[in-house]
Structure 1
Amino acid sequence: TAVCSGKNEAFVRELGADEVIDYTQGDWTRREHPDDQRFDVIFDTVGKTTYKRCKHLLKDRATYIPAVMRLPELLQMIWTPICSKRVVKSGVDLANPESLATLEQLAQSRVLVPPVERVYPLDQIAQAHRDVDTGHRSGMIVVRMAH
Protein backbone atom coordinates (compact mmCIF):
# COMPACT_ATOMS: atom_id res chain seq x y z
CA THR A 1 0.00 0.00 0.00
CA ALA A 2 1.28 3.45 -0.88
CA VAL A 3 0.04 6.91 0.07
CA CYS A 4 0.51 9.60 -2.58
CA SER A 5 -1.44 12.13 -4.60
CA GLY A 6 -3.68 10.78 -7.32
CA LYS A 7 -1.34 12.07 -10.01
CA ASN A 8 1.35 9.62 -8.78
CA GLU A 9 -0.88 6.54 -8.61
CA ALA A 10 0.49 4.93 -11.79
CA PHE A 11 4.04 5.63 -10.64
CA VAL A 12 3.66 3.92 -7.25
CA ARG A 13 1.78 1.00 -8.79
CA GLU A 14 4.72 0.56 -11.16
CA LEU A 15 6.96 0.45 -8.07
CA GLY A 16 4.83 -2.41 -6.73
CA ALA A 17 1.99 -0.92 -4.69
CA ASP A 18 -1.13 -3.07 -4.85
CA GLU A 19 -3.28 -0.45 -3.14
CA VAL A 20 -2.98 3.33 -3.42
CA ILE A 21 -4.44 5.86 -0.99
CA ASP A 22 -4.80 9.38 -2.41
CA TYR A 23 -3.95 11.78 0.42
CA THR A 24 -5.64 14.67 -1.42
CA GLN A 25 -9.00 12.97 -0.78
CA GLY A 26 -8.76 13.52 2.98
CA ASP A 27 -6.69 12.50 5.98
CA TRP A 28 -5.69 8.91 5.19
CA THR A 29 -4.78 8.27 8.84
CA ARG A 30 -8.45 8.65 9.82
CA ARG A 31 -9.48 5.67 7.70
CA GLU A 32 -10.85 2.70 9.58
CA HIS A 33 -9.07 -0.57 8.89
CA PRO A 34 -10.30 -4.00 10.01
CA ASP A 35 -7.64 -6.00 11.87
CA ASP A 36 -6.75 -7.97 8.73
CA GLN A 37 -6.06 -4.75 6.81
CA ARG A 38 -3.76 -3.04 9.29
CA PHE A 39 -0.07 -2.62 8.52
CA ASP A 40 3.10 -4.40 9.65
CA VAL A 41 5.18 -1.31 8.86
CA ILE A 42 4.39 2.33 8.20
CA PHE A 43 7.40 4.10 6.71
CA ASP A 44 6.69 7.82 6.44
CA THR A 45 9.26 8.87 3.85
CA VAL A 46 8.04 12.48 3.71
CA GLY A 47 7.52 13.40 7.36
CA LYS A 48 3.87 14.39 7.01
CA THR A 49 2.38 12.25 9.79
CA THR A 50 3.10 11.08 13.33
CA TYR A 51 3.05 7.82 15.25
CA LYS A 52 0.11 9.10 17.29
CA ARG A 53 -1.95 9.58 14.10
CA CYS A 54 -0.96 6.18 12.67
CA LYS A 55 -0.86 3.82 15.65
CA HIS A 56 -4.44 2.55 15.18
CA LEU A 57 -3.43 1.48 11.65
CA LEU A 58 -0.58 -0.73 12.91
CA LYS A 59 -0.86 -4.41 13.78
CA ASP A 60 0.50 -5.71 17.07
CA ARG A 61 4.28 -6.08 16.83
CA ALA A 62 4.34 -3.56 13.97
CA THR A 63 6.89 -0.83 13.29
CA TYR A 64 6.50 2.87 12.56
CA ILE A 65 9.49 4.55 10.86
CA PRO A 66 9.37 8.34 10.48
CA ALA A 67 11.65 10.09 8.00
CA VAL A 68 11.68 13.15 10.23
CA MET A 69 12.56 12.60 13.89
CA ARG A 70 10.95 15.28 16.01
CA LEU A 71 10.88 15.24 19.81
CA PRO A 72 7.55 13.35 19.99
CA GLU A 73 8.93 10.55 17.81
CA LEU A 74 12.10 10.36 19.89
CA LEU A 75 9.98 9.99 23.02
CA GLN A 76 7.78 7.42 21.27
CA MET A 77 10.88 5.33 20.48
CA ILE A 78 11.36 4.91 24.24
CA TRP A 79 7.76 4.79 25.42
CA THR A 80 6.00 2.67 22.76
CA PRO A 81 7.73 -0.69 23.39
CA ILE A 82 7.04 -0.33 27.11
CA CYS A 83 3.30 0.24 26.62
CA SER A 84 2.60 -1.90 23.56
CA LYS A 85 4.03 -4.56 21.27
CA ARG A 86 4.77 -1.94 18.62
CA VAL A 87 8.08 -0.23 17.85
CA VAL A 88 9.03 3.25 16.63
CA LYS A 89 12.39 3.36 14.85
CA SER A 90 14.47 6.00 13.19
CA GLY A 91 16.30 5.60 9.91
CA VAL A 92 19.51 5.53 11.95
CA ASP A 93 18.29 2.33 13.63
CA LEU A 94 18.26 0.69 10.22
CA ALA A 95 21.88 1.53 9.42
CA ASN A 96 23.50 -1.61 10.78
CA PRO A 97 26.02 -3.62 8.72
CA GLU A 98 23.60 -6.47 7.98
CA SER A 99 20.83 -4.15 6.76
CA LEU A 100 23.25 -2.12 4.66
CA ALA A 101 24.69 -5.30 3.11
CA THR A 102 21.17 -6.46 2.24
CA LEU A 103 20.34 -3.09 0.67
CA GLU A 104 23.59 -3.17 -1.29
CA GLN A 105 22.81 -6.66 -2.61
CA LEU A 106 19.28 -5.63 -3.62
CA ALA A 107 20.60 -2.53 -5.40
CA GLN A 108 23.37 -4.42 -7.22
CA SER A 109 20.91 -7.08 -8.40
CA ARG A 110 18.55 -4.28 -9.56
CA VAL A 111 15.74 -5.56 -7.31
CA LEU A 112 15.85 -2.23 -5.49
CA VAL A 113 16.01 0.66 -7.94
CA PRO A 114 15.39 4.04 -6.34
CA PRO A 115 13.39 6.25 -8.69
CA VAL A 116 15.36 9.33 -9.70
CA GLU A 117 13.23 12.30 -10.68
CA ARG A 118 16.01 14.72 -11.51
CA VAL A 119 19.81 15.05 -11.39
CA TYR A 120 21.42 18.43 -10.70
CA PRO A 121 25.07 19.42 -11.07
CA LEU A 122 26.67 20.67 -7.86
CA ASP A 123 26.53 24.30 -9.00
CA GLN A 124 22.69 24.05 -9.03
CA ILE A 125 22.38 22.71 -5.49
CA ALA A 126 20.24 25.69 -4.41
CA GLN A 127 17.65 24.79 -7.07
CA ALA A 128 17.80 21.14 -5.99
CA HIS A 129 16.98 22.23 -2.43
CA ARG A 130 14.08 24.36 -3.65
CA ASP A 131 12.68 21.36 -5.54
CA VAL A 132 12.99 19.12 -2.49
CA ASP A 133 11.38 21.75 -0.27
CA THR A 134 8.18 21.71 -2.35
CA GLY A 135 7.47 18.27 -0.84
CA HIS A 136 5.89 17.04 -4.06
CA ARG A 137 8.39 14.54 -5.38
CA SER A 138 7.82 11.39 -7.37
CA GLY A 139 11.45 10.32 -7.11
CA MET A 140 14.81 11.19 -5.66
CA ILE A 141 16.55 14.48 -6.33
CA VAL A 142 20.25 13.77 -6.91
CA VAL A 143 23.12 16.25 -6.76
CA ARG A 144 26.02 15.00 -8.85
CA MET A 145 29.42 15.73 -7.36
CA ALA A 146 32.40 16.20 -9.67
CA HIS A 147 35.01 13.44 -9.55
Structure 2
Amino acid sequence: MKAIVQDRYGPPETLALADVPTPVPAPDEVLVRVEAAALNAYDWHAMRGDPRMARLAMGRSRPRARIRGRDFAGRVEAVGAQVREVRPGDAVFGDLGDANGAFAEYVCVPEALVAAMPANLTPHQAAALPLAGVTALLGLRDVGRVGPGHSVLINGASGGVGTLAVQLAKAFGATVTGVCSGRNVDLVRSLGADHIVDYTRDDFADGTRRHDVVFDLVGNRTLGELRRALTPTGTLVLSGGGVYRGGSLIGPVWLIARGRLLAPLVRHRIVTLTTAPDRHHLDTLRAHVEAGRLTPVIDRTYPLHEVPEAIRYLEGEHARAKVVITL
Protein backbone atom coordinates (compact mmCIF):
# COMPACT_ATOMS: atom_id res chain seq x y z
CA MET A 1 0.00 0.00 0.00
CA LYS A 2 0.99 3.65 -0.32
CA ALA A 3 1.77 5.62 2.83
CA ILE A 4 3.54 8.78 3.98
CA VAL A 5 6.57 7.65 5.96
CA GLN A 6 9.27 9.40 7.95
CA ASP A 7 12.59 7.98 9.17
CA ARG A 8 14.08 11.09 10.83
CA TYR A 9 12.74 14.20 12.50
CA GLY A 10 12.73 17.36 10.44
CA PRO A 11 10.80 19.59 8.03
CA PRO A 12 8.15 18.43 5.53
CA GLU A 13 10.93 17.31 3.18
CA THR A 14 11.58 14.37 5.54
CA LEU A 15 8.17 12.94 4.59
CA ALA A 16 8.00 10.60 1.60
CA LEU A 17 5.38 8.59 -0.24
CA ALA A 18 6.43 4.93 -0.13
CA ASP A 19 5.19 1.40 -0.64
CA VAL A 20 4.82 -0.43 2.67
CA PRO A 21 3.17 -3.72 3.63
CA THR A 22 -0.58 -3.61 4.17
CA PRO A 23 -1.17 -4.16 7.90
CA VAL A 24 -2.96 -7.24 9.21
CA PRO A 25 -5.47 -6.70 12.02
CA ALA A 26 -4.77 -8.18 15.45
CA PRO A 27 -7.62 -10.11 17.12
CA ASP A 28 -9.11 -6.92 18.63
CA GLU A 29 -8.50 -4.70 15.58
CA VAL A 30 -10.24 -3.73 12.38
CA LEU A 31 -8.60 -3.04 9.03
CA VAL A 32 -9.89 0.20 7.50
CA ARG A 33 -9.53 1.33 3.91
CA VAL A 34 -8.80 5.01 4.49
CA GLU A 35 -10.86 7.41 2.38
CA ALA A 36 -9.75 10.62 4.09
CA ALA A 37 -7.41 11.73 6.85
CA ALA A 38 -7.09 15.08 8.60
CA LEU A 39 -4.16 17.21 9.72
CA ASN A 40 -3.72 18.51 13.25
CA ALA A 41 -1.06 20.69 14.85
CA TYR A 42 0.02 17.44 16.50
CA ASP A 43 1.18 16.15 13.11
CA TRP A 44 3.78 18.83 12.49
CA HIS A 45 4.97 18.63 16.10
CA ALA A 46 5.41 14.86 15.67
CA MET A 47 7.09 15.36 12.29
CA ARG A 48 9.70 17.70 13.76
CA GLY A 49 9.98 15.94 17.13
CA ASP A 50 9.27 19.29 18.69
CA PRO A 51 9.43 20.32 21.48
CA ARG A 52 12.44 18.13 22.08
CA MET A 53 11.11 16.87 25.41
CA ALA A 54 8.29 15.17 23.49
CA ARG A 55 10.83 12.82 21.92
CA LEU A 56 10.91 10.90 25.19
CA ALA A 57 7.50 9.57 24.16
CA MET A 58 7.74 9.74 20.35
CA GLY A 59 11.22 8.26 19.95
CA ARG A 60 14.52 9.82 20.96
CA SER A 61 16.53 9.61 17.77
CA ARG A 62 13.80 8.96 15.19
CA PRO A 63 9.99 8.70 15.12
CA ARG A 64 8.79 5.51 16.75
CA ALA A 65 5.69 5.65 14.54
CA ARG A 66 7.00 5.62 10.97
CA ILE A 67 3.69 6.49 9.25
CA ARG A 68 2.27 9.91 10.14
CA GLY A 69 -1.35 10.93 10.79
CA ARG A 70 -4.00 10.41 13.48
CA ASP A 71 -7.50 11.23 12.24
CA PHE A 72 -9.14 9.06 9.58
CA ALA A 73 -12.43 8.03 8.02
CA GLY A 74 -13.06 5.07 5.76
CA ARG A 75 -14.64 1.67 5.33
CA VAL A 76 -13.87 -1.53 7.23
CA GLU A 77 -12.21 -4.18 5.06
CA ALA A 78 -11.58 -6.93 7.62
CA VAL A 79 -11.91 -7.57 11.36
CA GLY A 80 -9.99 -9.57 13.93
CA ALA A 81 -11.33 -12.70 15.59
CA GLN A 82 -12.31 -10.89 18.83
CA VAL A 83 -14.15 -7.99 17.16
CA ARG A 84 -17.85 -8.14 17.96
CA GLU A 85 -19.63 -4.92 16.95
CA VAL A 86 -17.87 -3.73 13.79
CA ARG A 87 -18.38 -5.54 10.48
CA PRO A 88 -16.69 -5.43 7.06
CA GLY A 89 -18.31 -2.72 4.97
CA ASP A 90 -19.07 -0.43 7.93
CA ALA A 91 -18.25 3.25 7.42
CA VAL A 92 -16.18 4.39 10.42
CA PHE A 93 -14.03 7.22 11.70
CA GLY A 94 -11.53 7.56 14.52
CA ASP A 95 -8.31 8.81 16.04
CA LEU A 96 -5.23 6.57 16.18
CA GLY A 97 -3.62 8.61 18.95
CA ASP A 98 0.14 8.42 19.33
CA ALA A 99 0.22 5.20 17.31
CA ASN A 100 -0.25 7.31 14.15
CA GLY A 101 -0.62 5.72 10.70
CA ALA A 102 -3.59 7.53 9.10
CA PHE A 103 -1.71 8.93 6.09
CA ALA A 104 -1.94 5.59 4.32
CA GLU A 105 -4.29 3.57 2.15
CA TYR A 106 -5.03 1.15 5.01
CA VAL A 107 -4.79 1.31 8.76
CA CYS A 108 -5.35 -1.15 11.60
CA VAL A 109 -7.07 0.25 14.68
CA PRO A 110 -8.51 -1.29 17.86
CA GLU A 111 -12.27 -1.74 17.69
CA ALA A 112 -12.58 0.38 20.84
CA LEU A 113 -11.23 3.42 19.00
CA VAL A 114 -13.57 3.50 15.99
CA ALA A 115 -17.15 4.67 15.73
CA ALA A 116 -19.82 4.64 13.05
CA MET A 117 -19.39 7.58 10.69
CA PRO A 118 -22.13 10.23 10.97
CA ALA A 119 -24.74 9.43 8.34
CA ASN A 120 -24.91 13.02 7.07
CA LEU A 121 -21.16 13.56 6.60
CA THR A 122 -18.82 12.72 3.76
CA PRO A 123 -15.62 10.83 4.66
CA HIS A 124 -13.71 14.09 4.21
CA GLN A 125 -15.88 15.84 6.77
CA ALA A 126 -15.84 12.89 9.17
CA ALA A 127 -12.04 12.71 9.09
CA ALA A 128 -11.92 16.33 10.27
CA LEU A 129 -13.85 15.53 13.43
CA PRO A 130 -12.07 13.12 15.84
CA LEU A 131 -9.16 14.88 17.60
CA ALA A 132 -10.45 18.44 17.19
CA GLY A 133 -14.00 17.46 18.06
CA VAL A 134 -13.07 15.49 21.18
CA THR A 135 -10.85 18.37 22.33
CA ALA A 136 -13.74 20.81 21.94
CA LEU A 137 -16.22 18.44 23.59
CA LEU A 138 -14.11 17.69 26.65
CA GLY A 139 -12.93 21.27 27.06
CA LEU A 140 -16.46 22.65 27.11
CA ARG A 141 -18.61 19.86 28.53
CA ASP A 142 -16.33 18.03 30.97
CA VAL A 143 -13.84 20.69 32.05
CA GLY A 144 -15.69 23.94 31.41
CA ARG A 145 -19.07 22.48 32.50
CA VAL A 146 -20.73 24.78 30.02
CA GLY A 147 -24.50 25.04 30.18
CA PRO A 148 -27.43 27.32 29.39
CA GLY A 149 -26.82 30.96 30.25
CA HIS A 150 -23.05 30.70 30.51
CA SER A 151 -20.76 33.14 28.75
CA VAL A 152 -17.90 31.41 26.91
CA LEU A 153 -14.90 32.97 25.17
CA ILE A 154 -12.97 30.86 22.66
CA ASN A 155 -9.47 32.11 21.86
CA GLY A 156 -8.67 30.63 18.45
CA ALA A 157 -12.26 30.37 17.24
CA SER A 158 -11.37 29.97 13.55
CA GLY A 159 -9.04 27.00 14.01
CA GLY A 160 -9.72 23.29 13.73
CA VAL A 161 -10.82 22.96 17.36
CA GLY A 162 -12.24 26.47 17.58
CA THR A 163 -14.75 26.11 14.74
CA LEU A 164 -16.17 23.03 16.44
CA ALA A 165 -16.02 24.59 19.92
CA VAL A 166 -18.11 27.57 18.82
CA GLN A 167 -20.84 25.24 17.56
CA LEU A 168 -20.77 22.98 20.63
CA ALA A 169 -20.86 25.91 23.06
CA LYS A 170 -23.96 27.19 21.28
CA ALA A 171 -25.48 23.69 21.39
CA PHE A 172 -24.92 23.68 25.17
CA GLY A 173 -26.87 26.95 25.47
CA ALA A 174 -24.00 29.38 26.02
CA THR A 175 -23.44 32.92 24.78
CA VAL A 176 -20.27 32.64 22.71
CA THR A 177 -17.50 35.15 22.02
CA GLY A 178 -15.05 34.06 19.34
CA VAL A 179 -11.55 35.53 19.06
CA CYS A 180 -10.05 35.46 15.55
CA SER A 181 -8.39 37.65 12.93
CA GLY A 182 -10.37 40.04 10.77
CA ARG A 183 -10.34 37.75 7.75
CA ASN A 184 -12.12 35.03 9.73
CA VAL A 185 -14.85 37.13 11.34
CA ASP A 186 -17.53 36.09 8.85
CA LEU A 187 -16.65 32.41 9.27
CA VAL A 188 -16.87 32.50 13.06
CA ARG A 189 -20.10 34.48 12.97
CA SER A 190 -21.61 31.96 10.54
CA LEU A 191 -20.92 29.19 13.07
CA GLY A 192 -23.13 30.90 15.64
CA ALA A 193 -20.83 33.15 17.67
CA ASP A 194 -22.79 35.92 19.39
CA HIS A 195 -19.81 38.26 19.66
CA ILE A 196 -16.55 38.49 17.72
CA VAL A 197 -13.23 39.94 18.86
CA ASP A 198 -10.80 40.75 16.06
CA TYR A 199 -7.51 40.36 17.90
CA THR A 200 -5.72 42.59 15.39
CA ARG A 201 -7.88 45.50 16.58
CA ASP A 202 -9.20 44.72 20.06
CA ASP A 203 -7.99 43.00 23.23
CA PHE A 204 -10.32 40.43 24.74
CA ALA A 205 -8.25 40.50 27.96
CA ASP A 206 -8.66 44.22 28.72
CA GLY A 207 -11.22 43.45 31.43
CA THR A 208 -14.12 45.07 29.56
CA ARG A 209 -16.10 41.84 29.23
CA ARG A 210 -15.84 38.85 31.56
CA HIS A 211 -16.82 35.26 30.90
CA ASP A 212 -17.73 32.16 32.87
CA VAL A 213 -15.37 30.07 30.74
CA VAL A 214 -12.31 31.03 28.71
CA PHE A 215 -11.21 28.23 26.38
CA ASP A 216 -7.66 29.02 25.26
CA LEU A 217 -6.65 27.19 22.08
CA VAL A 218 -3.74 29.43 21.13
CA GLY A 219 -1.37 29.82 24.07
CA ASN A 220 -0.34 33.37 23.13
CA ARG A 221 -1.42 35.16 26.32
CA THR A 222 -0.18 35.07 29.90
CA LEU A 223 -2.21 33.53 32.69
CA GLY A 224 -2.83 36.99 34.12
CA GLU A 225 -4.22 38.24 30.84
CA LEU A 226 -6.46 35.22 30.40
CA ARG A 227 -7.77 35.54 33.95
CA ARG A 228 -8.73 39.17 33.33
CA ALA A 229 -11.32 37.85 30.88
CA LEU A 230 -12.95 35.65 33.56
CA THR A 231 -15.69 36.28 36.07
CA PRO A 232 -14.46 36.05 39.70
CA THR A 233 -15.24 32.32 39.86
CA GLY A 234 -14.81 31.51 36.17
CA THR A 235 -12.96 28.60 34.59
CA LEU A 236 -9.86 28.83 32.40
CA VAL A 237 -9.38 25.81 30.15
CA LEU A 238 -5.83 25.57 28.78
CA SER A 239 -5.43 23.66 25.55
CA GLY A 240 -3.12 26.10 23.79
CA GLY A 241 0.23 25.92 22.11
CA GLY A 242 -0.82 26.80 18.58
CA VAL A 243 1.35 29.92 18.61
CA TYR A 244 4.41 27.87 19.51
CA ARG A 245 6.54 27.63 16.38
CA GLY A 246 9.12 25.07 17.47
CA GLY A 247 12.78 24.96 18.36
CA SER A 248 12.77 24.73 22.16
CA LEU A 249 13.16 22.06 24.80
CA ILE A 250 9.71 22.22 26.43
CA GLY A 251 7.64 24.41 24.08
CA PRO A 252 4.25 25.51 25.45
CA VAL A 253 4.60 23.37 28.58
CA TRP A 254 5.67 26.45 30.55
CA LEU A 255 2.17 27.92 30.37
CA ILE A 256 0.58 24.64 31.42
CA ALA A 257 3.06 24.20 34.29
CA ARG A 258 2.43 27.73 35.57
CA GLY A 259 -1.30 27.12 35.35
CA ARG A 260 -1.06 24.01 37.48
CA LEU A 261 1.06 25.82 40.07
CA LEU A 262 -1.29 28.77 40.25
CA ALA A 263 -4.57 26.83 40.29
CA PRO A 264 -4.62 26.01 44.06
CA LEU A 265 -3.89 29.63 44.97
CA VAL A 266 -6.72 31.47 43.18
CA ARG A 267 -10.51 31.46 43.06
CA HIS A 268 -10.55 30.81 39.34
CA ARG A 269 -10.59 27.21 38.16
CA ILE A 270 -7.52 26.71 35.97
CA VAL A 271 -7.56 23.34 34.23
CA THR A 272 -5.20 21.82 31.67
CA LEU A 273 -7.11 19.78 29.12
CA THR A 274 -5.88 16.31 28.22
CA THR A 275 -7.51 14.08 25.63
CA ALA A 276 -7.26 10.49 24.47
CA PRO A 277 -9.02 8.54 21.71
CA ASP A 278 -12.34 7.17 22.94
CA ARG A 279 -15.23 5.61 21.05
CA HIS A 280 -17.84 7.03 23.42
CA HIS A 281 -16.72 10.60 22.72
CA LEU A 282 -16.92 9.91 18.99
CA ASP A 283 -20.46 8.59 19.45
CA THR A 284 -21.39 11.83 21.23
CA LEU A 285 -19.97 13.90 18.40
CA ARG A 286 -21.89 11.81 15.88
CA ALA A 287 -25.12 12.50 17.76
CA HIS A 288 -24.49 16.26 17.61
CA VAL A 289 -23.67 16.07 13.90
CA GLU A 290 -26.72 14.00 13.00
CA ALA A 291 -28.93 16.37 15.01
CA GLY A 292 -27.64 19.30 12.96
CA ARG A 293 -25.81 20.97 15.82
CA LEU A 294 -22.27 20.39 14.55
CA THR A 295 -20.63 20.48 11.12
CA PRO A 296 -16.87 20.27 10.47
CA VAL A 297 -15.45 23.12 8.39
CA ILE A 298 -12.80 22.24 5.80
CA ASP A 299 -10.31 24.81 4.56
CA ARG A 300 -8.45 22.78 1.92
CA THR A 301 -7.97 19.23 0.72
CA TYR A 302 -4.76 17.64 -0.60
CA PRO A 303 -4.10 14.22 -2.17
CA LEU A 304 -1.96 11.75 -0.24
CA HIS A 305 1.26 12.49 -2.13
CA GLU A 306 0.95 16.19 -1.20
CA VAL A 307 0.96 15.67 2.57
CA PRO A 308 4.31 17.53 2.87
CA GLU A 309 2.78 20.57 1.18
CA ALA A 310 -0.34 20.30 3.34
CA ILE A 311 1.73 20.32 6.53
CA ARG A 312 3.76 23.24 5.21
CA TYR A 313 0.51 25.13 4.71
CA LEU A 314 -0.64 24.25 8.24
CA GLU A 315 2.70 25.25 9.78
CA GLY A 316 2.60 28.61 8.05
CA GLU A 317 -0.49 29.60 10.08
CA HIS A 318 -2.50 30.21 6.92
CA ALA A 319 -5.03 27.47 7.60
CA ARG A 320 -8.40 28.03 9.17
CA ALA A 321 -10.65 25.21 10.28
CA LYS A 322 -9.40 21.82 9.00
CA VAL A 323 -7.04 20.61 6.29
CA VAL A 324 -7.95 17.16 4.94
CA ILE A 325 -6.04 14.52 2.97
CA THR A 326 -7.98 12.62 0.31
CA LEU A 327 -7.27 9.06 -0.83
Give the alignment's TM-score, normalised by structure 2: 0.38
**Whole-angstrom CA distance in 2 between matches of 1:81 and 1:30:** 19
**Whole-angstrom CA distance in 2 between matches of 1:42 and 1:49:** 12
Q: By how many angstroms is 1:63 displaced?
A: 2.5
Q: Is the 8 A contact 2:236 2:269 kept in 1?
A: yes
Q: Which residue matches 1:107?
A: 289
Work out whether 1:23 is the aligned partner of 2:199. yes
Work out whether 1:89 is the aligned partner of 2:272. yes
Q: Is the 8 A contact 2:213 2:236 kept in 1?
A: yes
Q: Helix, strand or coil: the match of 2:325?
A: strand
**Whole-angstrom CA distance in 2 between matches of 1:109 and 1:126:** 35
Q: By how many angstroms is 1:30 displaced?
A: 4.2
Distance 1:61 1:44, change over 3 A: closer
Deviations 1:42-81 (A, max 9, x none): 2233443343431111221412222327222331342233
Structure 2 gaps of 5+ residues are 1-176, 242-250
Aligned length: 140
Percent of residue pairs bearing the same amino acid type: 28
Q: Which residue matches 2:76?
A: none
Larger helix fraction of residues: 1
Task: Give, as a single letter, the amino acid of the residue that structure 1 aligns with 2:188.
Answer: V
Structure 1 gaps of 5+ residues are none
Task: Give, as a single letter, the amino acid of the residue that structure 1 aligns with 2:271.
Answer: V
Task: Give, as a single letter, the amino acid of the residue that structure 2 aligns with 1:102.
Answer: T
Task: Give, as a single letter, the amino acid of the residue that structure 2 aligns with 1:40.
Answer: D
**Whole-angstrom CA distance in 2 between matches of 1:31 and 1:119:** 38
Distance 1:117 1:101, change over 3 A: same
**Aligned with 1:134 (options 316, 319, 323):** 316
Distance 1:81 1:47, change over 3 A: closer
Q: By how many angstroms is 1:104 displaced?
A: 3.1
Q: Is the 8 A contact 1:76 1:88 kept in 2?
A: no
CA RMSD of aligned residues (A): 2.6
Give the alignment's TM-score, normalised by structure 1: 0.77
Work out whether 1:66 is the aligned partner of 2:249. no
Q: By how many angstroms is 1:90 displaced?
A: 2.1
Task: Give, as a single letter, the amino acid of the residue that structure 1 aligns with 2:187.
Answer: F
Q: Which residue matches 2:138?
A: none
